[in-house]
Structures are given as structure tokens and as C-alpha cells.
Structure 1
Amino acid sequence: MKLVLIPPQRDSTADWPERLMAEVPGLTVVRPPAEGAAAELATADAAYGVLPKELLEAAGRLKWLQAQQAGPPPGFYYPELVAHPLQVTNMRDTYTDHVATHTLALVLAMCRGLPRYLRDQQAAEWHPDWSPDAVVSLPDSTALVIGAGALGSEIGRLLDAFGCTVTGIDVRPSAKPGFEQVLPVEALDEQLPAADLVILTVPHTPDTEGMIDARRLKLFKSSAYFINVGRGPTVRLDALDAALENGQLGGAALDVFETEPLPPDHPLWRRPNVLITPHVAGVGPHEASRRYAVLLENCRRFIAGTELMNLVDKTKWF
């Protein structure tokens, strides 16, 4: 079997060909420069990375594509790739702990009013707010986690540990530790008005693109905080900005955006009830070793002819 690491590749994959070939008998691995990718893919059985249309056309016998991320970047899936008989696998659950920790940091920052105090610190101003409603009490709050897969499940577990009542929304609803209930997507609209925290973790798919739009933002509780750590295209940013301007929700903490980088003139940068981080929720140790472990296991399975792990339904992009 021949596996091609499609350029560009991170420096952390430089030794992967040697390591993979040492650990998987019968495997040939190449990491070509950009100008040599098409020629190598012509004789490849498998590939790792992002496969644009022009390289797919050159890959005559490709049977398996391993994505580099749990939720690949916009444009990863396109009609020709979806129609192709090759299997796609992703890196699901390789950095769940990092994103969940970041999510809790955003939740706690919003609930304790830290954005306001950070602005006061920059201005060297002392304005303590001792009123009981200056903070959100997590044990008295309801959290709605939209997307209760690996990431959403971990976020729900952590919120439960802080005393929140947690409800999940998922396309594949099932009981989860820490969740009071997990409901189908059809229940989303009726659950939004009851939530103090709305946390979005879903991947970008044809079904989730723009799912948080002007209509749904009108369903939010006016005091609710909205947190997005999933994918930017799932939220219409102009609608979110308008909702914040009109007081339709209490605030937002965002790690991902419909347009990245977020344009410097976008009004969300300057909203006092918005906390922004630049798509860094997944940052943390062990990422490269975890991705390598998934690729290694799938190489072993591919050669053995057994089912690959983290298989994707290409028509749904996850």
C-alpha cells in the first residue's frame, strides 16, 4: 500500500514516513513537495491531508483519505469528492479535552464578568460590581449544548460538575453522562428560550451552515450567553451582531467565525459584551502524537482490510 502525505504538511509530520513504514509492514509512505504531489498520487492507495479537485483527478486508484482535523476546513468536501468511491476518515476526538477546557474558560469568563474587568484593567480603573446579578450562577443555570458528540459530551460533563442543568441537541440523540436529556435537532427551537448558556459545537455541514441565524437569535433569552467553539459558518455574524445591538441576548464568546480572520472593522471586536479568541480552542499538548496514532491505526486496518476508525458520511461531511 502506498500512502501520500499531501502538501503542505506541518513540520511535525516530517518523520512520519519513516515511522509509519517501520511500524506497518507493507506500507510505503511519501511526503512529496507540492510540485510532485500529483505524480505520487497517481499510484497511491491512500492519502493524508486536504485533497483538492485537481489532485483527486490525478489520484487514479485512491481508496482512502485521512483528514488532518476532526472538522476539516471549508472546501474540504466538494461534489466530486463526495461522489468518489474512496472512504474518508477524520481526527474525531483527538483534541476534545483542549476545546472543552477552552469552552469552560469562555463560559466562566462571561459568567463572572471578566470582559468588563479586563477593559477596566487596561484603563487602570477600579469599578467593582457587588450586585448579585453582576454574575451568572452556574448551579442556577440551564445550558443548551448544540452538538452532543465527543466534544459536546465533554463540555456537558464539565458544566454538570459546576452544577448546571445540561440539555443536549444532537442528530443522533442518546443518553450522556451529565446531561439531563439529549434531544433531536427538531427540538432546538423550543429549547432555546429556556437556556441561560447556548453552546455550539457542531461541525460545518450542509445542514448546519447558518443554523444560528436572525430567526433563531430571536428565540434566545435576552440574558443568555452564546458560545461558539464549533465552526464559524454555522453562525451568521451580521445577524449575531444585530441581535447583540438589539439586546436579544446578553453576550457572546466566540472562537470561530464565518469569516476568518475576523475583519478588523467588524463591530463584534468593539462590543463590550463579546469575548473573542482567534480560533485557538484546540491548542494544547499531544496534538501531533494523537493525530499520528489515528493515522497509524488506520494504516494497520487498511492493510488488514478491516473497518477504518472515524469513518465519515461524506454526504453529511462528518
Structure 2
Amino acid sequence: MTSTNAFTFLMLPPQTDLTRQWARRLAELVPAMNLIVAEDAETAAAAIPTADAAFGTLPAELLAKAKSLRWLQAPQAAPPAGYYYPELVAHGLTVTNFREIYNDHISAHILAFVLAFARGLHVFIPQQLRHEWKKPPEDQGVVPLPGSTALIVGLGGIGAETARLLSAFGMHVLAVDARRTDKPDHVDELHPADALDTVLPRADFVILTVPHTPATEGFFNRARFSLMKPTAFFINIGRGLTTKLDDLVAALKAGTIAGAALDVYEQEPLPPNHPLWGLPNVLLTPHMAGYGPHLNERRFQIIQDNCRAFAEGRPLRNVVDKATWF
């Protein structure tokens, strides 16, 4: 029988009906845990000196008061810029996150973008709204997916599931990743991150699934768009700050690339006067590619699993490299 150790778990403010519900469930499922639900900053400040673990966003002033903190569960898969500040990165505690819960939803969203471009829906939907019946020549306006090449930039859970779906359509799948060295069956070629510029010119679809990190901020820019085929499509469902939108607009207007589909943006919401709204070769969704059923239950399962693992001295799920933010 696995031994368990008592520990104090602090749920940092702000609280919602959902986090309070999680707290009630955790208290029943992990009896070795002393659970503190901080409804305000004062309660959190009083509890943090003796907390062993915490959930939520931990400001630097609270971290400075933490004497026993060894684990922090981030409230998102990729928290916004500023979550991993220098003091937190330098601290000895372990951070975990909610990655892997969106794989099916986001990969389906990517596939929808790919199929829309491949079958010309970015042309036909506006025609429908204008009540226009306008057929292209039989040999134009379609991208045959068998024999086409997709490049996935970031081969985590989302990227790997996307590769599986794309390969089912007969596509040749390339991938680059900063960490992964094991090539999944549905990926034809896996390259290190520094090979990106070498493989970019080969792709008909370039798909970004990478998080926002110091290394990826603004890394898709004018120079990288210039390396893509003029017939290629760019898709970003990772994080908006990875892509320079002014450079993307310039590439689209100049015909440097054929089109773009975005779910994430440098500025959100995307301003109503932004030129992307009016471009005919662009598909835009409002940062909802991850939407779908069961997400909150998946989040809770990670918290529950990690609370039990922490109590039993086992490895935690979804450990983050704090220096690189993922």
C-alpha cells in the first residue's frame, strides 16, 4: 500500500463557483490534504508561509513569503506572459500546467482550416453571402491533399494529433520541435527547431502549435514568410505573440503566401479596424479553437492526479520548464 504524507494545498484567489466545486471534490478525494480556499489576497497572504502546494497565479510578493512551497499548479496550459517571472523561475518549486487537455478539439479546428483552404471555402462562403453563383475552372481553386506537405511547428500533444489527422488524408507531414526526438508514426520527418528555415520552403501548409516563450515571441516574421511557397497557407492556433501580424498582412497583400487562418493574435480582441478582417484569403476565429466538451473535468483530473502524486511522493503530471515557460 502506498504511503501518503499530509500537506497544505492553497487555492489562490480569485475563486469561482467552479474552483469552489473543485475544492469540495478534492477535500473528499485526497484526505491527506489540508485544503485552504483563499477568497481574497489577505487570506492568501496569511496562508502562503506554511503552504506546501498551491493552485493559481502566484504574485512575486506572495512567493517571497512562501517558506515551504514545493509545487504550483498553473491555471492554464500556457499562462499569459508574466506568469513565469524571474523570481519564480529561480525558485526551487515545481510548476505544472494543463497541457494535453485540448488535443482533440484544437487538432479538429486545424483540420477544419486545412480543409477549408483545400476546397476553397474561403472563396465560396463570401460568395454565398453575396448570393453569387460563380464556379472556378475545374482545375483551379483546389489543393489536393494527397501528396501535399504540412509542416507542424511544435510537436506536442496537439501537433501529434494533428499529424495523425493530416496523414489520414494522405499528406506528407513534417515537424520541427525544440525538445522532442522520438518521431511518431504519423510524422514522416521530425527535425530540431533550428531546422525550421530549411524545411519551411517545402510546406504547402505551415501550422503553428507552439506556446509563447522567450524563444518563440515574434519568430514568425517577414523573413520567415518570405521563405514559404507563394501557394502555401499559414495557420496559427498556438499563441498570438509568436506571429508579427503586420508582417503577415504584408505577406498576404504582396502574394508572398496564399492565405492565412488564425485563432490567436498579437492583440486580443483583434481591433475591428485591423486589415486582417478585410482580406479575402484569411480565415479568423476568436481564440476558441480549444472549445469543446469535458475541459473542466480534464482540468480537475490533472489537479486531482497531481495532489495524489504529491501526497505519495510520485512524479507530477505536466511539469513545466520554467525558464522556457512550457
User: Under a length normalisation based on structure 1, what TM-score does the superposition of the two structures give?
Assistant: 0.96
Tell me how far 1:73 sits from its aligned partner: 1.8
1:45 and 2:52 correspond: yes
Q: After superposition, what is the alpha-carbon deviation per residue over 1:131-185, rounded to whole angstroms, capped at 9, x for unaligned?
A: 3221111113100001111110100110000110001101123211211111111
Q: Which runs of 5+ in 2 are unaligned?
A: 1-6
Q: Distance in 2 between matches of 1:185 and 1:212?
A: 13
Identity %: 52
CA contact (8 A) 1:153 1:177 kept: no
Q: Which residue of 1 aligns with 2:153?
A: 146
CA contact (8 A) 1:221 1:248 kept: yes
> Could you tell which deviates more after superposition, 204-213 or 157-166?
204-213
> Could you tell which deviates more after superposition, 119-128 or 177-186?
119-128
The 1:8–1:107 alpha-carbon spacing in structure 2 relative to 1, beyond 3 Å, is farther
1:196 and 2:170 correspond: no
Q: Which residue of 1 aligns with 2:232?
A: 224
Report the AA paired with residue 241 of structure 2: P
CA contact (8 A) 2:201 2:229 kept: yes
1:72 and 2:79 correspond: yes
CA contact (8 A) 1:199 1:226 kept: yes
The 1:10–1:196 alpha-carbon spacing in structure 2 relative to 1, beyond 3 Å, is farther
Tell me how far 1:13 sits from its aligned partner: 2.3
Q: After superposition, what is the alpha-carbon deviation per residue over 1:31-76, rounded to whole angstroms, capped at 9, x for unaligned?
A: 2223333223233211112222233234332211111222222221
Q: Which runs of 5+ in 1 are unaligned?
A: none
Q: Distance in 1 between matches of 2:47 and 2:134?
A: 63
Q: Distance in 2 between matches of 1:2 and 1:266?
A: 48
Q: Which residue of 2 aligns with 1:129?
A: 136
> Could you tell which deviates more after superposition, 35-44 or 76-85?
35-44
Paired positions, count: 318
Task: State the secondary structure of the residue aligned to 2:9.
Answer: strand
Q: Distance in 2 between matches of 1:11 and 1:20?
A: 14
Q: After superposition, what is the alpha-carbon deviation per residue over 1:60-99, rounded to whole angstroms, capped at 9, x for unaligned?
A: 3221111122222222111111011111011121111111
CA contact (8 A) 1:39 1:58 kept: no
> Could you tell which deviates more after superposition, 58-67 or 236-245?
58-67
The 1:10–1:107 alpha-carbon spacing in structure 2 relative to 1, beyond 3 Å, is farther
1:262 and 2:277 correspond: no
The 1:112–1:306 alpha-carbon spacing in structure 2 relative to 1, beyond 3 Å, is same
> 2:287 pairs with 279, 284, 293, which one?
279
C-alpha RMSD of matched pairs (Å):
1.4
Report the AA paired with residue 27 of structure 1: M
**After the TM superposition, which parts of structure 1 deviate over 6 Å for at least 4 consecutive aligned residues?**
none
Q: Which residue of 2 aligns with 1:303?
A: 311
Q: Which residue of 2 aligns with 1:63?
A: 70
CA contact (8 A) 1:48 1:67 kept: yes
> 1:237 pairs with 221, 229, 245, which one?
245
> 2:164 pairs with 153, 157, 180, which one?
157
Tell me how far 1:274 sits from its aligned partner: 0.7
Q: Which residue of 1 aligns with 2:17?
A: 11
> Could you tell which deviates more after superposition, 71-80 or 51-60?
51-60
CA contact (8 A) 1:143 1:196 kept: yes
The equivalences for 1:31-42 within 5 A come to 31-35=37-41, 36-42=43-49
Q: Which residue of 2 aligns with 1:94?
A: 101
1:183 and 2:191 correspond: yes
Tell me how far 1:219 sits from its aligned partner: 0.1
CA contact (8 A) 1:38 1:59 kept: no
CA contact (8 A) 2:15 2:38 kept: no
Q: After superposition, what is the alpha-carbon deviation per residue over 1:188-215, rounded to whole angstroms, capped at 9, x for unaligned?
A: 1111111000000011111111111111
